[in-house]
């Protein structure tokens, strides 16, 4: 919401600046009265390309920029052909072209962006010739062309930063999905191993004690059902192909390990935490739900230690409903300040979001009603087919 407000405020400020420059253009111009509306139309057309929000990779944007540049060049050619010189050549139009160059370099497809930026640079460089063909106007043309080059450089810089962040987020998401797949793989391997051992034992005791064999078969059936449910959830989750198949299986931490996690967090000092599970020890939870809840709490506690430096307490709350496992981690510290351009971007929340969505859950993080910072997660207890 804050970003949307800032964008709209910037658009209103840009419109105000362009309107002021447009008034200067009209009052100082000495063109024929019939050409004044044309000058205003060209400036408005260029501004219309720049001001709206644009989607990355849009092909409409460079085409619109080419049309605006063509319109401007046509107007310049008309004035030169009719030898109509004098006045300011179009400050509003020149300012709008700076914005066009920046957004095209930032959002347009590479090939189209090169062509559109070249056309915009040519239109802005020739624009001062509307006021005359002396060396001073040629110099102004070069200055405007350099300004366009600077705007293109700014757009390319922002494009590169967005691309780097997008690739980093993709890497975090892939790592989270691979980690989730490894957890399920370990759980399935554990149960399959148990099934094999129980089946071997049942074979030897079947003749001597049929009742014990029936108990073993029931345990095998239960373990097999849990394994099949987890395998259905693992479909579509990519496992790291470079991982070693003979690597030792790591224990899967879940809801039952939360008391130890919270105790370790508090023992580390600096920020105490308290846990309220309502007596739920995590028994019977699907393994992917239990491990995801554990990771949510672990990541939220880590973020609280790093960012909520003025907090005095972290509350971890967990409840099981008929269809969901609800997890909340809240601290009473002030909300973290927005990241600055020099701050190292964090991807913990992005990775956590990917983890939660992989099991069909929902997550939200933001300031609490009474202050502090709250992370809310809802994990479905029913399997997704």
The pLDDT of residue 341 is: 45
Instruction: Count how many Cα atoms sit within 13 Å of the Cα of residue 25 in the half-sphere of its side chain.
Output: 26
* Cβ atoms of 377 and 367 closer than 8 Å: no
Query: Mind listing the pLDDT tens digit for each residue in 244-277?
Result: 444 334 445 789 889 988 888 887 666 889 999 9
Which residue bears the tokens 């040629």? 138
Give buried/exposed letters for 1-21 (b at 16+ CB in 10 A, else e): eeeeeeeeeeeeebeeebeeb
Q: How far apart are CA 184 and CA 177, in angstroms?
A: 11
Phi, psi of 29 (to 5 degrees): -75, 150
Residues of the chain scoring pLDDT < 70: 1-40, 50-52, 54, 85-88, 173, 176-198, 200-201, 203, 207, 216, 219, 222-223, 226-252, 268-270, 335-348, 383-385
Q: State the Cα torsion 283-285-291-294 to the nearest 10°.
A: -60
- Burial degree of 297 (CB within 10 A; 0-12, 13-18, 19+): buried
The pLDDT of residue 345 is: 44
The pLDDT of residue 355 is: 76
């Amino acid at each position: 919401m804050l970003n949307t407000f800032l964008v709209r405020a910037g658009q209103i400020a840009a419109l105000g600046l362009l309107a002021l420059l447009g008034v200067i253009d009209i009052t100082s111009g000495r063109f024929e009265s019939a050409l004044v509306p044309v000058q205003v139309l060209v400036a408005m057309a260029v501004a219309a390309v720049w001001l709206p929000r644009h989607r990355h990779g849009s092909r409409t944007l460079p085409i619109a920029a080419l049309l605006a540049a063509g319109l401007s060049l046509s107007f310049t050619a008309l004035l030169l052909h009719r030898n109509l010189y004098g006045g300011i050549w179009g400050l509003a139009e020149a300012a709008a072209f700076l914005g066009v160059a920046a957004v095209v370099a930032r959002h347009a497809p590479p090939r189209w962006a090169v062509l559109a930026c070249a056309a915009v640079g040519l239109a802005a460089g020739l624009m001062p010739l509307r006021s005359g063909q002396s060396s001073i106007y040629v110099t102004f043309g070069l200055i405007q062309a350099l300004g366009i080059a600077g705007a293109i450089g700014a757009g390319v810089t922002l494009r590169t930063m967005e691309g780097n962040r997008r690739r980093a987020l993709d890497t975090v998401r892939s790592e989270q999905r691979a980690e989730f797949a490894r957890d399920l793989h370990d759980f399935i391997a554990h149960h399959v191993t148990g099934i094999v051992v129980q089946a071997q034992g049942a074979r030897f005791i079947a003749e001597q004690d049929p009742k014990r064999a029936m108990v073993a078969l029931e345990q095998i059936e239960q373990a097999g059902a849990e394994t099949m449910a987890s395998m259905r959830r693992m479909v579509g989750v990519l496992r790291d192909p470079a991982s070693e198949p003979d690597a030792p299986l790591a224990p899967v931490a879940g809801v039952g390990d939360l008391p130890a996690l919270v105790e370790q967090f508090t023992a580390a000092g600096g920020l105490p935490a308290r846990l309220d599970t309502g007596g739920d020890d995590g028994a019977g939870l699907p393994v992917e739900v239990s491990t995801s809840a554990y990771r949510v709490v672990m990541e939220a506690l880590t973020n609280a230690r790093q960012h909520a430096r003025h907090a005095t307490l972290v509350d971890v709350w967990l409840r099981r409903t008929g269809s969901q496992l609800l997890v909340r981690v809240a601290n009473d510290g002030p909300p973290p300040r927005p990241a600055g351009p020099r701050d190292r971007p964090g991807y913990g929340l992005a990775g956590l979001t990917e983890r939660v969505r992989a099991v069909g859950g929902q997550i939200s993080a933001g300031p609490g009603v009474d202050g502090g910072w709250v992370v809310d997660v809802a994990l479905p207890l029913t399997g997704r087919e």
